[in-house]
Structure 1
Amino acid sequence: MQPVTRAIGIGYLLICLLALLATAFIGPVGYAPFPLPIGPAQDPVVVTIWYGTEKKLWLEDAVQGFEATNPRVGNRPIKIVLRGIGSRELSLRAARQEFGGDGQPTVISPASSAWVEVARADWAALNPGSQPFTIDRPDQAMPLALTPLVVVAWKERADVLWPNGPVDFWQNLHEALNNSEGWVGVARERGFAPDSPEYQKARNWGFVKFGHTSPLTSNSGAQALILMAYGYHGKDKGLVSADILDPGFQQWLREVEMAVLEFGDSTGTFMTSMVQFGPSKYDLVIVYENLALENVEAAQRRWGDIRIYYPPATMFSDHPYAILNTPWVTPEQRQAAEKFRDFLLSPPIQEIAFLRYGFRPATTDVPMLTNDPSNPFNKYRAYGAQVDTPPLVETPSGEVVTTLLDLWRRQINR
């Protein structure tokens, strides 16, 4: 029996040795006692993504699906770490290397490419001669999902403000916000007779109540300022710092912004307020289209007719995915970040962003014109949702955006 026992023992030791060798080179093998990863080859490749919180739920769903595929770089598993941070904050902190407790980012994904441009400008000022982004296309980072800026308003009030539709969009809004008689003065200026139903209702509405987020903390607030600047100057591209410094524009902007009730930090807060408090809180607000699609039905059931309106020219929040080209990002992290980016742009994940969360797909592989009842543009067509958007304004340079924000900080947010 002794030779047999010795043979079994030797065989067992050989099996353990083979299992450990296999574990070191190709990953865990079999069950206990051999599941422990050995050596640095099994350390995960960690990809830390600083992202704008508007896409939080979609990204969290995507990370679960991605990690379920057991993604790897070589023999090492990939781990995605998400850090939700406001778009302006994350762009500034990344450029200034102010990491705090959020870790060094491998990728930044603000809500809009405008913040990538701001980060570029800040980085160039602090680090002359270096470039922080590995660019997948010549002029910008890769978009992940799209959503335009829209206005959500109570229909009967929008019909008084824009009786022929929102053609002279920004000028009409400017005039209404500065009408000393409030809604009844707006109704008179739009030609409604004193005995008309519109005029009689307007007598009870008070001043025009308009809201958008703070451009210092929120992407949608900054985009609202950009659209106002373009609207005032009557163009959709080529916005320069001289346009921002124009005294006429500065006075016009002050007259709009001083009538805004409050500047919140979150775009979602305005839609939540419209749903919770109805027209007693806001007559119209500037929000993202995907938030409008999520909430208009609930507001309609609670308070009556509400509609989505598209400005004559708008901006997409394109949620760029910018992989940093910095000393702390390793080649393995870049490869892992590219794998996750490709996963996010795959048709199944883009379809989830579209059908479940109301984002427009960033690729042409997911059709927007379908008969699917879950398609948000079918489901919410009666509320004003439309596939075709107005013309898009050009994203200004980081320097122009910074000048516009400095103006707002000096003259509005004192």
Structure 2
Amino acid sequence: MIRTRVFVVAVMSAAVVLVVGILVWRTITGNAAALGLAPARPQVVRIQVITALPVESWVQAAADEFNATGPKSEGATIEVEITPMDGLAALGKWERNDFAALSADVLLEDLPQEKLEALESFPTAWIADGRFLVEIANASFREQLGRDQFLNDGQYRMRPLANTLLVWGLFRSRGAPLLENLGPPSWSTFHKAAVAPTGWKELGGDPGWGNFKLAVNPVGESVGGLAAIVTAAGEYFDSTEILVEDVVDPQFDTWLTELMGAALQFSGGATSSAESVALFGYTAGDGGQFLESELLQNMEGIQNRWQEPVLLYYPKVTTWFDFPFAIWAGPETSAAQKEAALAFQSFLLSEGQQRSALEFGLRPAESGLQVSAAEGSLFEQWRRLGVEDNVSSVNVMQSLNRELLSALLRRQEMNEKR
């Protein structure tokens, strides 16, 4: 009897040891999930980063370099996917909830499998043109979901990656007579040129140039285009603070319509005023307003194709874009994805990548790094065309807010219907 009991105990002990051994082995080899006993850890953590067009080239190059290093997050390989998107288009998608964020009363564990799988394509982070876009999106999230989804503090707080600003640019041949007869580049100067009845004939240039043509980012289709209207309003009203009633003022509207009447909108694959000028030359604009980074990136193409440079001039009141890296804080993305996004954010802010930004005409987020710090810096390459190392931030134009943005978009919609 005693022997029988001993035998049974021995068999049961051996069975327990065997089961434990199998579980340990399967856990080590990642097969515990096959028994339904533990979830398998992902082998790859993929994150999608929606990225503003002005920094897309730099961020994509950084992502390629980052991915090539085989970065890890909790043992899983991180893969970064960059989705370029204009800031206005991205904001519209967030506000319409096109990405299908979960309602505040929906729990992740209650979702069916197909909806869980759909969340795999949910954006992990957004690099917007400026913080103001993220704040406008957060205002919508508070209304729809009852909370901010992009944070201003804590571990996952948004952090600016690089800087650029709006500058004036003029083809050298056009700039000489324009500046001599009308004064330094400004919206007032360009307005006078735009309404000149005989065009370049009375502006002191070659009559064969026709009328003055203004280069400006598409007003209703880009953040830079809407910022152009804000800067124009700022100059018109002599203020850095613009109200909704200012942009709908009838006299200002008439003045702005005359000014923008000189702007020709091109497609042909161009995504900015600088790219349009590089592709179409004087037909796209004798001069106008550009993002500094985009103009510097296209400067070589402009010179090679049109055999003439565009000279840079810096406005007294500046408009900046800081491209914050904002990590989605909601349950739609996993903790592993958030950590992976944080790792990529840190990579972009590393000294090596900040130096790389200079090669794309972007000013570093860290003020201690000079624009001439990198050997391939576009600032150094095109310094002779008017590039300034240090641009004053004393007089800064206000950023767009939700009410002002809505008013500008309504104005643009009404103009298109005229």
Aligned with 1:337 (options 319, 334, 341): 341
Aligned with 1:182 (options 199, 208, 226): 199
Residues of 2 paired with 1:412 and 1:311: CA distance? 29
1:104 is matched with which residue?
Answer: 122
Opposite residue 45 of structure 1, the aligned amino acid is V
Shift of 1:369: 4.5
Q: Does 1:157 align with 2:174?
A: yes
RMSD: 3.1
Q: Which runs of 5+ in 2 are unaligned?
A: 1-20, 32-37, 101-117
Secondary structure at the counterpart of residue 222 of structure 1: helix
Decide whether aligned partners of structure 1 residues 53 and 275 sit closer, same or farther in structure 2, where only a CA change above 3 A counts.
Answer: closer
Shift of 1:176: 1.2
If the length of structure 2 is used for normalisation, what is the TM-score? 0.78
Contact 1:48 1:81 in 2 (8 A): yes
Residues of 1 paired with 2:41 and 2:154: CA distance? 32
Secondary structure at the counterpart of residue 47 of structure 2: strand
1:387 is matched with which residue?
Answer: 389
Decide whether aligned partners of structure 1 residues 277 and 69 sit closer, same or farther in structure 2, where only a CA change above 3 A counts.
Answer: closer
1:119 is matched with which residue?
Answer: 137
1:33 is matched with which residue?
Answer: none
Contact 1:213 1:263 in 2 (8 A): no
Decide whether aligned partners of structure 1 residues 126 and 183 sit closer, same or farther in structure 2, where only a CA change above 3 A counts.
Answer: farther
Identify which range, 392-401 or 70-79, moves more after superposition.
70-79
Opposite residue 131 of structure 2, the aligned amino acid is S
Shift of 1:180: 1.4
Superposition misfits of 4+ residues, deviation over 6 angstroms: 15-19
Q: CA deviation digits over 1:21-77, x for unaligned, max 9?
A: 54439xxxxxxxxxxxx9621343332211122222222221222233433332333
Contact 1:239 1:396 in 2 (8 A): no
1:85 is matched with which residue?
Answer: 85
Shift of 1:261: 1.8
Contact 2:270 2:276 in 1 (8 A): no
Decide whether aligned partners of structure 1 residues 53 and 182 sit closer, same or farther in structure 2, where only a CA change above 3 A counts.
Answer: same
1:3 is matched with which residue?
Answer: none
Residues of 2 paired with 1:258 and 1:368: CA distance? 36
Decide whether aligned partners of structure 1 residues 88 and 277 sit closer, same or farther in structure 2, where only a CA change above 3 A counts.
Answer: closer
Q: CA deviation digits over 1:322-380, x for unaligned, max 9?
A: 112223133332222111111110101111111x211111113532245x653322221
Contact 1:212 1:263 in 2 (8 A): no
2:162 is matched with which residue?
Answer: 145
Contact 2:275 2:294 in 1 (8 A): no
Opposite residue 175 of structure 2, the aligned amino acid is A
Contact 1:211 1:263 in 2 (8 A): no
Residues of 2 paired with 1:224 and 1:86: CA distance? 16
Q: Does 1:49 align with 2:43?
A: no
Residues of 2 paired with 1:399 and 1:318: CA distance? 21
Decide whether aligned partners of structure 1 residues 120 and 160 sit closer, same or farther in structure 2, where only a CA change above 3 A counts.
Answer: farther
Opposite residue 120 of structure 1, the aligned amino acid is N
Contact 2:167 2:313 in 1 (8 A): yes
Contact 1:66 1:343 in 2 (8 A): yes
Contact 2:86 2:222 in 1 (8 A): yes
Q: CA deviation digits over 1:185-213, x for unaligned, max 9?
A: 3x2xxxxxxxxxxx3x4322211011223
Q: Which runs of 5+ in 1 are unaligned?
A: 1-14, 26-37, 188-198
1:5-404 maps to which residues of 2 (within 5 A)? 21-24=27-30, 40-99=40-99, 103-127=121-145, 129-136=146-153, 141-163=158-180, 167=184, 169-185=186-202, 187=203, 199=204, 201-236=205-240, 238-262=241-265, 264=267, 268=271, 270-301=273-304, 302-354=306-358, 356-370=359-373, 374-390=376-392, 391-404=395-408
Secondary structure at the counterpart of residue 209 of structure 2: coil
Contact 2:215 2:277 in 1 (8 A): no
Decide whether aligned partners of structure 1 residues 239 and 160 sit closer, same or farther in structure 2, where only a CA change above 3 A counts.
Answer: same
Matched residue count: 370
Decide whether aligned partners of structure 1 residues 141 and 249 sit closer, same or farther in structure 2, where only a CA change above 3 A counts.
Answer: farther
Q: CA deviation digits over 1:104-144, x for unaligned, max 9?
A: 212111222332233234334444x3212122489x83211
If the length of structure 1 is used for normalisation, what is the TM-score? 0.79
1:12 is matched with which residue?
Answer: none
Decide whether aligned partners of structure 1 residues 279 and 67 sit closer, same or farther in structure 2, where only a CA change above 3 A counts.
Answer: closer
Residues of 1 paired with 2:228 and 2:331: CA distance? 35
Contact 1:213 1:266 in 2 (8 A): no
Secondary structure at the counterpart of residue 67 of structure 1: helix
Decide whether aligned partners of structure 1 residues 258 and 412 sit closer, same or farther in structure 2, where only a CA change above 3 A counts.
Answer: farther
Q: CA deviation digits over 1:206-247, x for unaligned, max 9?
A: 1101122323321221221121121211122x3222222322
Contact 1:87 1:217 in 2 (8 A): no
Secondary structure at the counterpart of residue 46 of structure 1: strand
Identify which range, 16-25 or 113-122, moves more after superposition.
16-25
Residues of 2 paired with 1:72 and 1:389: CA distance? 39
Decide whether aligned partners of structure 1 residues 66 and 281 sit closer, same or farther in structure 2, where only a CA change above 3 A counts.
Answer: closer
Contact 1:268 1:291 in 2 (8 A): no
